[in-house]
Amino acid sequence: MNDMSISKDIIWIGASDNNQKIFESQYSLKNGMSYNSYIIKDDKTVLLDTIDESVTSIWEYKLNEELKDKEPDYLIISHMEPDHAYNIGKIAKKYPNMKVVGNQFTFNILSNFFDIDIAERKVIVKEGDVLDIGKHKLQFFMAPMVHWPEVMVTYEQTEKILFSADAFGKFGSLDVEDDWITEARRYYIGIVGKYGMQVQALLNKASTLDIKTICPLHGPILKENLNYYIEKYDTWSSYKPEEDGVYIVCSSIYGNTLEAANKMMTLIKASGQENVVLCDLTKADWAEAVANAFRFSKLVLASSSYNAGLFPPMEHFLGRLKERNYKNRVVGLIENGSWAPSAGRCMKSTLEEMKDITIIEPVITIKSKMKEDNILQMEELVKELLK
Ligand code: FEO
């Protein structure tokens, strides 16, 4: 279990759902999912966010243990997405004197989800406002589109803690201690990848703060080497590659396109670039494939044609890249088709809708099975790719 202790006054009351297989009904989970919620005990007692439906009973137990019979003075809502906001209606009824803190967008969305009357106890905050709860001072910064328009983060000035909402979160249960990067990258690119500009705006605000601890709404509390995490977010949100290397993404019906993709990998390595990873989209997790496309500086797409178009795994992959504003990359293309190859045209057409993508010409065309001349073409493609 990750160390989720914070301080005497600030307590994590989150929980993991170890059995959860899918997040947001689209991202597969290998090791479940975690949801974080926090309490600050001071002259006033503050609850930061509620929790997902799936782990409500654990959260309620922890909340009651911490509060005893006390009523919280404030609930701060960082984000209205149901994986954090599910219990707002329930606790707003349970604690009728608890003030509810959010921004104007928060309350607009809240009224969509909940039929509760909190007009008399709404506290609407704006950029930079401070809530003084005794020894601790909570300052609010708006973080629109990281990941919804109402998102805001809270900076606790005394202990220098950033409650970062979805930012710096990851997939996975807290009971599993894996390396942060793989599932944080898949989470970031999947959930927030489209909104790089807005993440940059949040990072600029964060750069003015002295942050000792980051408490996200998912994943471990980050206490050391914070620059590592912040730099990763800076790289991802500015659409820069993390690594010089080639990611080969293949969608093959009978294995002949995959054979060409494997040959491409061998040729790239033989040319001196050892950092090459091949992904078979027919077997891979699509969100990991998309995250890895952002990770590497160069991309090779190899796909079968299908119904005068593109084989669906590649079509889906490219759609997800485009949706997340994939840009600033060099891409090589290999198509396969037995009578009227169409994959190259389709891949190019989608890539041309993205910004700052350099497509290496010509597209290599395989007719059913790779031939000697295809290998010569691939050698040329490798030269161009590694220039
Ligand atoms: Fe973890 Fe955007 O909710």
Determine the atom of ligand 1 nearest the C-alpha atom of 35: 1
Q: What is the pLDDT of residue 177?
A: 86
Taking residue 107's Cβ as centre, other Cβ atoms within 10 Å add up to 18
Tell me the C-alpha to C-alpha distance, in Å, between residue 64 and each of 43, 67, 72, 134, 291. Answer: 18, 5, 11, 22, 39
Give every CB contact of residue 4 below 8 A, 6+ residues apart in sequence.
Answer: 12, 14, 36, 174, 220, 221
Nearest CA to ligand 1 atom 1: 166
**95, two tokens:** 């604690």
Task: Determine whether the shortest distance from the Cβ of 84 to ligand 1 is under 6 A.
Answer: yes
Structure tokens given for 331 = 């891409």
- Rounded Cα gap, residues 295 and 74, in angstroms: 40
Burial of 289 (0-12, 13-18, 19+ CB in 10 A): buried
∠ CA 323-141-35, rounded to 5°? 65
Q: Atom 3, ligand 1: which residue's CA is nearest? A: 81
Cβ–ligand 1 contact at 217 (below 6 Å): yes
What's the CA-to-centroid distance between 191 and ligand 1, angstroms?
A: 8
Measure 242 CA to ligand 1 centroid, in angstroms: 24
Q: What is the pLDDT of residue 147?
A: 93
Position 93 scores a pLDDT of 96
Burial of 312 (C-beta count, 10 Å sphere; 0-12/13-18/19+): middle
Q: Is 170 in the pocket of ligand 1 (CB under 6 A)?
A: no
pLDDT of residue 2: 87
Atom of ligand 1 nearest to the CA of 148: 2
- Contacting residues for 117 by C-beta, under 8 A, at least 6 apart: none
Integer Cα distance of 161 and 344 in angstroms = 50
Taking a C-beta distance cutoff of 8 angstroms, is the pair 332, 347 a contact? no
What's the residue count for the chain? 387
pLDDT of residue 343: 98
Task: Please state, in angstroms and rounded to a whole number, the distance separating the CA atoms of residues 8 and 22.
Answer: 34
**Ligand 1 and 315: CB distance under 6 A:** no
Written in H, E and C, the secondary structure of 92-144 is: HHHCCCCEEEECHHHHHHHHHHCCCCCHHHEEECCCCCEEECCCCEEEEEECC
CA of 324 to the centre of ligand 1 (A): 17
Instruction: Tally Cβ neighbours within 10 Å of residue 162.
Output: 25
pLDDT score, position 359? 98
Domains and CATH numbers, the chain: 10-237 (3.60.15.10), 243-385 (3.40.50.360)
Separation of CA 216 and ligand 1 centre (Å): 10
Task: Determine if ligand 1 sits within 6 Å of the CB of residue 166.
Answer: yes
CA-based torsion, 142, 143, 149, 150: positive or negative: negative
**Cα 166 to averaged position of ligand 1 atoms, centre (Å):** 5
Nearest atom in ligand 1 to the alpha carbon of residue 165 is 1
Measured in whole angstroms, the distance separating CA 61 from the mean position of its chain's CA atoms is 29
CA distance 236 to 60: 35
How many C-beta neighbours within 10 Å does residue 343 have?
28
49 lines ligand 1 (CB under 6 A): no
Q: What's the CA gap between 328 and 311, in Å, rounded?
A: 25
Angstrom distance (rounded) from CA 300 to CA 369: 18
- What angle is formed at CA 67 by the lines to CA 64 and CA 73, rounded to 5 degrees? 125
CA distance linking residue 278 with residue 60, whole number of Å: 45
Ligand 1, closest atom to CA 166? 1
User: Which residues are paired to 365 by β-bridges?
Assistant: 335
| Residue 218 Cα: closest atom of ligand 1 | 1
Tell me which residue of 306, 255, 346 sits closest to 263, measured CA to CA.
255
What confidence score (pLDDT) does residue 348 get?
98
Instruction: Name the phi and psi angles at 19, rounded to 5.
Output: -95, -5
> 19: which DSSP letter?
T
Whether ligand 1 lies within 6 angstroms of the CB of 147 is answered as: yes
Q: Are strands 243-251 and 296-306 parallel, antiparallel or unpaired?
A: parallel
Average pLDDT, consecutive stretches of 10 residues, N- to C-terminus, the chain (387 residues): 93 98 97 98 98 98 96 98 98 97 97 95 98 98 98 98 98 94 98 97 98 98 98 98 98 98 98 98 98 98 98 98 97 97 98 97 97 98 96
Quote the ligand 1 centre to 81 CA distance (angstroms). 6
